[in-house]
A and B are shown apart, each in its own frame.
Chain A
């Protein structure tokens, strides 16, 4: 049977516990907009004193409202959404290069060469028509160069972005490792590590946007972080990612051994998510494919024109001259295409005539040159058809990337909503909690004052 004194202690414990509840509620309200903040619930228990029932209460700590499975799904969803978003963003700049609808493509340059040959055939002896051929050929070469340069710049930019992303991953991994250490230390000493866990969670969310991430719960609040199929963080140790290039120019993701050993392991094949995956896909798949197709088109057109041009005769009676300088293989053709030195600045060298006897007004070779644009090149498609195919291909890639972004974004938002539903702060709830603890505190105060009155009454009566 409890005494009045015991009741005093009970009221004191209640005031402390309700005060703790108010404090946690205040924390929740304060952090309602803090990214990554996980709602806390105060843990109140009845205080046992041996086997006796005292009816007292104690605050044993707090609980972070989390769901480990939802958190894992969020990491994965963020990684996929980030990869898709980066892929889509990077493809925008590639698409802009081939936007003939916005007059930035190569279609008009190809048309210009055809039109110049056609005009030359109409008046083969006209210096203006000959100069126009040189101008159109030069414009085609410049356009091909600038598109290939832009693709090469995009690849270089993406390499730098990949390297910067790897550095960012390493910084986050190192921070997570440090937090792991502090969390373990705090929990070992029986301290609350909720804030540290929030910080670590925030870093994990940030990391998941850079690379695909999986987590495994370790001992004493520590976590193991796996990224791109390898362990990135384990306890207080983290590995470092670095970017290198393969012999074919594609990106290579390397991971150093834990402990800072100089040995590196290639983990590129396991890279599936995050900004890094988006960068790699754009650079090594899309830009590479489009560059190859552009090179093939430029090579085919330039080679066909060169062959026909060399078969004809310039006004000076010389044949065998190429109109373009282009390599022997398609690789790099767009970037290296130049107006041949044999014809540059020399309109008379344009071979409009098919034979010596038809000089200077023969037009058959000019007609044949124009006809190249109606003839199937590699794959049996004309230059215009092939170029249209490239434009369609880029559009298809960009459109698919956009749709994928929308899907991944929706999944991410759904998972985020699930996490928010479990871990987010609801002001409605907190206001109710605030009232709940406030009322309980007031009631405990009333118990205290009642006990005080009773004791005063007792003392006064006994003393009389």
Chain B
């Protein structure tokens, strides 16, 4: 293996040091990444590669770095974007037939900030259509595979971004999380994934699914790499009126390895034997013991409305989706049906031919819960229950600094196992959706294996307090080296 290939498998700090020390060029690192993307095409993690432009940008990065003017921790580093985060001149299919030929005329704010920081986008990752799904099976690009076991799902909806980082195609990538779409695939693929506080990262240029829940965040092979990436993409953006006008802390400086003095809340509703994989519970309990041994205190907390999170989420998310996806009408962009009889026929057929089944199901459900006579009973009710869920967390955080849970009640399921049963797919998001409903930051990180598959540990923070979950997560990595476990090379 060459030096650049070796380096690609390492973390951002090692890559930075080698680039700054002149041991390897950004061009060599980008080429190594493109070669690995091609070699791992069987995972279907990457849906479009960006070679020529990336190589040209690597040349420019090389000049900056040589003159000691590296712009950030990410200057000259190859990264991947989920296919719903737009980049000027590049496709953004959102894994949908309706956007098959779309080319973005502008950069998302997150993309723009990464590029200004010198990061080099080498391609776009597979996902569930319009971020609706938990398996990266609802996609026009072919189902994605888990690098740990290709017969299993890599999770979703940001499955490609998680699989790409797990398989070593890039050190970091971006995804989006509406109900768990970063944390669940991070858990399934044994990498770190962070959903920041709602509003922390601008949604400008993120193709909207559920606007009150959507949030962009990073994947990495360590907590430190996620923190460094978040520092680049976070911050107020006047183009997103829901973007939080708060300064961006230096999260990487907070990673001091200390957990002494931290109080970790353990929600009793999440630690039930029923419906949770035995191996998952065992690994999470070992993690709790490790935190306690390192000096953290644990306290039981209660989140009594947990059992209502999924129902609340699927009303609110589908209602918002039905409204957001109304923009796909075959007029301004996207697929248009051939030879429409009139404007109504153009709308009907463009949408019906362009959207996949899961997207149609959610548009129907969202339209139903917003329709005359049902609005108050479903949508109004769900918004009130959302308040109760938010209050549960506020009350729990009076007693602790962060909350620890499994990310998922199970490890990665087999491809096809749940595709005929939408409700069962939805129900497994029980630990992740309430975090979006409450707008809180959530981190998923590896905490060991169960039957050879990674188990995800979720750390939930107070609003705007990414610092505490990043610090605790980084400290956990130093205690137990689970994040160093890599999938078998054979996959």
Tell me, yes or no, whether A binds B: no
| Residues on B facing A (Cβ under 8 Å) | none
| Residues on A facing B (Cβ under 8 Å) | none
